[in-house]
Chain A
Amino acid sequence: QQQVKQSPQSLIVQKGGIPIINCAYENTAFDYFPWYQQFPGKGPALLIAIRPDVSEKKEGRFTISFNKSAKQFSLHIMDSQPGDSATYFCAAAGSSGSARQLTFGSGTQLTVLP
């Protein structure tokens, strides 16, 4: 019930394309859904996060779409650039009990071609 499933495992797009990464969760105690970006040799860095009381959040070129009834959320990267090439992780956390720690998806390796 703690699992967060992420797809696809890898993604290749052309510069300017809009890659979409999807995640699904099962634990209804989760109430915080962040996306992290990780470059080789670095720790994950928070990109954007959403709470379940909104269906969409935009920050710059990054947008999270959230579907509470389907227990799914996704990341869209508008006007993608080669510098966006990295591994992206979705995660989820709750406010109580065993859900309080971040549970991560398995990651999506994004390559943006010039």
Chain B
Amino acid sequence: DAGVTQSPTHLIKTRGQQVTLRCSPKSGHDTVSWYQQALGQGPQFIFQYYEEEERQRGNFPDRFSGHQFPNYSSELNVNALLLGDSALYLCASSFRAGGYGYTFGSGTRLTVV
């Protein structure tokens, strides 16, 4: 049974560019949450998608946007990349928005140069 799958594993982008990160949730899960983890810090909540809609959002600018597809997979898009966007981006899936059984993927390491 596959867990949460994220792609790509590593990515290098130039300041000002746009990036798309992808996540496939664990089998049986229908909710996807995205987190940003800066080096040496705890993960920070970006937003959560359930039933193809953004249900909750953390304290992140509109440059961060997302999408959830009918098969529950999700994308995180970041526009106008800043050096400070360099981080590990984690996807966590769960069953039903508000459920607590979160499973995290291994993340995408984004480096902005």
Contact = CB atoms under 8 A, between A and B. Distances in A.
A54 interface: no
A41 B106 contact: yes
B100 A32 contact: yes
Interface of B: 4, 33, 35, 40-45, 48, 56, 58, 90, 92, 97-98, 100, 102-107
Interface of A: 6, 32, 34, 36, 41-46, 49, 89, 91, 93, 95-96, 98, 100-107
Contacts of A49: 100
11 contacts: A34-B102, A36-B104, A42-B107, A43-B90, A43-B92, A89-B43, A101-B33, A102-B33, A102-B43, A104-B43, A107-B42
A103 B92 CA distance: 13
B106 A101 contact: no
A105 B42 contact: yes
A95 B96 CA distance: 12
B97 A100 contact: yes
B90 A44 contact: yes
Given A98-B56, A100-B56, A100-B98, A43 B44 contact: no
A67 B53 CA distance: 37
A95 B104 contact: no
A58 B107 CA distance: 29
